[in-house]
Structure 1
Amino acid sequence: MSDKVLVGVLPGDPRPHVLKWAALHARGRQRTIELVSIIGGAVGAVGEQSLVVEAEEHARTALEAQRDALVAEGFSVTVHVGHGNPVSGLIEASKDAAMLVIGSDFRGEGHGPVRGPHGIRIVSGAHCPVVVVREPDERERRGVVVGVDGSEISEKAIAFAAAEADRLGEPLIGVTTWAPMEVPRSPGLYPSEYLHSLAALADEASAISLAGLAQTYPDLVVERRVEQGYPGEAIVDAAWHAHLTVVGSHGRGVIARFLLGSVSEELLMRLPSSAAIVR
């Protein structure tokens, strides 16, 4: 497996906060960095080739300047400029990466969705964990939030989140939810022993999933939150005050790789914090 951190850089929009996140991660894990820009928009029109070449040259010049600045700080950095569909290009490049780091496609407040679909499409198809770095804000943030449900993909998310929390010197906040079976009855009519059992099972799953972290990270502070409700809502609520939120992707196999689960998709659409989607 590659030990490279791949950073998707929009031509003409370097987004320093994205480069900074990737650089700090790479330094903490002693990983190399590759800066990638994909020139899109070509349709084969007459006279287009010279524009593509010019755009590639500008992109390469910008990437090389960013590379030189990172190299001066002690990083090992390569650059790559391609052309084609940016989403497909980054997905293909992710085959040879330990992690892909991209910025959010924030559209601003106004008509339509606040965030575009490109981030979700890239995350859906990527072959490695993807970190989507949120634009900076003035919110006071604390901790790394991770979704915990006892599944295999959740265990991978916990491992990723614990390593990041330890690197940042922040607490790890594990969020587990439970909800009663949906049946045609009033919420107040569920048997109390049934609700207590659901809560106890969720608490047990949370405790078991997070129990072994102290051996690997003896200084890591772990907080467990077990709540009644739906995972997407609980994780997004916790994420508004977190430095990073980590969840697992959804699906297995070639086709399922392109289907995100409801939790990860909701997290990316709202992006209350920077988010990591782990496979």
Structure 2
Amino acid sequence: MSDTIVVGVAKEPATRRAAGWAVARAAARGEQVELLGVVGGAVGAVGEGELVAAAMAATQEMLDAEAHRHSESGVAIRTRVEVGDPVAALVDASKDAVLIVLGSDYRGPESGPARGSRGIRIVADAACPVVVVPDLELGDRRGVVVGVDGSPVSAGAIAFAAAEAARAGEPLIAVAVWSPIASPRHAPLVIPEDYRSGMNLVAHETLDEALAEVRLQHPGLVIDDRAVEGYPSAVINQLATDARLAVVGSRGRGPVRRFLLGSISHEVLQRLATVTAVVR
């Protein structure tokens, strides 16, 4: 298994936070870091060679400066510059990486949704978990939030989150979110109490089954399991406002439906509340 964390390096200030997060994790787990910069936009036009060479040199300078910032971390850091499609390059790098780490320009609810589709496309196709680091001062947070829906993808997210929480000695907050049956916008809909109780029961059963293996593997881990009525991405990000890390699966379809259906993980990334990992 690879022990390399690959960080996608761009010009945005968020790159510095992403690299810092990756180096700190690598130091704690005995891993190494590769800083990858990709020069995109080349189409083979006449006279393009000089521009590409200049862009590659500038990118290498940027990578070297970032590596130098962490020269005393004790982490082995290497750099690599490629020419091509940044999404394709990072997806390809994910085949031999333990994690892909990306920076996001998201700076909180007042800034609107995070911009750009590259991160979403990388998350959708990466062969390893992808961690997205927002451009936020997160302060002293504790705990790992993970979404649970009973699917195999959800199981992978739970295992990842539990390992992260156990390593840090922090609690695991496992949440199963259920949403009522949708109705037309202006149609009154009274939710029967027995329906609500039944859905809560299904959610709790899903949590119990999904967390059974985690409890065996990490007997000392504090687990706060919650069944919540609401919209999944909103619930996850609300809980994540006080957490060090949030973990979601992508394209799960378990007993608690409409939780990790692909679009939900994307919505979580659009309103990042903390460092967020997406596990396929």
Query: How high is the TM-score relative to the length of structure 1?
Result: 0.85
> How many Å separate the matches in 1 of 2:107 and 2:134?
12
Partner of 2:141: 141
| 1:187 correspondence with 2:189 | yes
Structure 2 match to 1:199: 200
2: distance between equivalents of 1:125 and 1:65?
29
SS at match of 2:74: coil
Q: Label 1:66 to 1:163 Cα distance change in 2 as closer, same or farther (>3 A).
A: same
Deviations 1:78-102 (Å, cap 9, x if unpaired)? 2210011212211121121111001
Q: How many residues align?
A: 272
Q: Can you list the C-alpha shifts for 1:108-144, whole angstroms capped at 9, x where unaligned?
A: 9999854222211211121211000011236663321
- The residue aligned with 1:230 is 231
Residues 108 and 136 of structure 2 are in contact (CA less than 8 Å); yes or no, is this contact kept in structure 1?
A: no
> What amino acid is the match of 1:203?
H
| C-alpha displacement of 1:251 | 6.9
Q: 1:130 to 1:163 in 2, by over 3 A?
A: same
Q: Secondary structure at the match of 1:91?
A: helix
Contact between 1:105 and 1:118, CA under 8 Å: does it hold in 2?
A: no
Tell me what 1:32 maps to: 32
In the alignment, what sits opposite 1:256?
none
Query: Quick one: structure 1 residues 71 and 151, their matched pair in 2 at CA, closer, same or farther if it must change by over 3 Å?
Result: same
Q: Is the 8 A contact 1:105 1:119 kept in 2?
A: no
- Cα distance change, pair 114–75 in 1 and its aligned pair in 2 (3 A): closer
Hey, what does 2:257 align to over in structure 1? none
CA positional deviation for 1:275: 0.9
1:152-208 per-residue CA deviation (whole Å, 9 max, x = no partner) reads 111110111112222333211111122344468853253x33332221121121122
The question of whether the paired residues in 2 share the 8 Å contact of 1:139 and 1:241 is answered with no
Deviation track 1:230-251 (CA, whole Å, cap 9, x = no partner) reads 3222112212222211000117
Contact 1:107/1:115 (<8 A) preserved = no
- Distance in 1 separating the partners of 2:205 and 2:143: 22
* 1:58 paired residue number: 58
* Secondary structure at 1:201 match in 2: helix
The yes-or-no answer on 1:7 pairing with 2:37 is no
Query: Does the 8 A contact of 1:162 with 1:213 survive in 2?
Result: yes
Q: Secondary structure of 1:52's partner?
A: helix
1:218 Cα shift?
3.6
For the pair 1:269 / 2:270, whether they are aligned, the reply is: yes
Partner in structure 1 of residue 95 of structure 2? 95
1:25/1:86 Cα in 2 relative to 1: closer, same or farther (>3 Å)?
Answer: same
CA–CA separation in structure 2 for the residues paired with 1:214 and 1:111: 39
Does structure 2 retain, via aligned residues, the 8 Å contact 1:147–1:176? yes
Q: Using the aligned pairs only, state the percent identity.
A: 46
1:278 corresponds to which residue?
279
SS of residue paired to 1:36: strand
Partner of 1:48: 48
- Between 11-20 and 146-155, report the one with greater CA deviation: 11-20
Q: What secondary structure, in the 3-state scheme, does the structure 2 residue paired with 1:15 have?
A: helix
1:212 aligns with 2:213: yes
Query: Aligned partners of 1:111, 1:177: CA distance in 2, in Å?
Result: 26
Whichever residue aligns with residue 276 of structure 1, its letter is A
Unaligned runs of 5+ in 1: 253-258
SS in 2 for 1:66: helix
CA–CA distance in structure 2, aligned partners of residues 111 and 237 of structure 1: 16
Superposition RMSD in Å: 2.9
